[in-house]
Amino acid sequence: MLRTFSLVGMAAQAEGRRLKAKASATGTRMAFYAGAGVMGLAAFVVLHFVLWFIARNSFGTVVSSLLVMVFDLVLAGICVFLASRNTTAREEIEAQAVRNVALTGAAQSAVSGFTTQAGPLMALAGIAIAALWPKLRGGRRL
């Protein structure tokens, strides 16, 4: 039974490590989203004016505005792509594997501990029922 509690404790530690690794990966992803926001804002403020003035001399006002908008959308799309990559950290995968092995071992240990400890008790209960059965039935035998 002690092995079961040890394995459950190991599984809890592994789950804690997995959640910590997942939180770290989520923090990195949020940093990329923040970078995408900053890049979008910077592109909106600075690049709009610079590219619009450059393109206005060659293409006119409307076409230069469309070119600036397409450039901004491409930059924003690149940042969103980098932020949304779903890469699972190696530490998270290892911690999840340890947790699964520990929980499987704990379940097997609990079942085997129950059967080895409950076997003699069930035999004793069977003997007691066999001895008391005639009295429970009112002393009549079939």
Q: How far apart are CA 5 and CA 71, in angstroms?
A: 59
- Checking if the pLDDT of 120 tops 70, the result is no
Residue type, 81: F
Highest mean pLDDT among 7-11, 69-73, 83-87, 103-107: 69-73
CA torsion 7-98-15-21 (nearest 10°) is 160
Note the pLDDT of residue 10: 83
What mean pLDDT is predicted for residues 36-65? 83
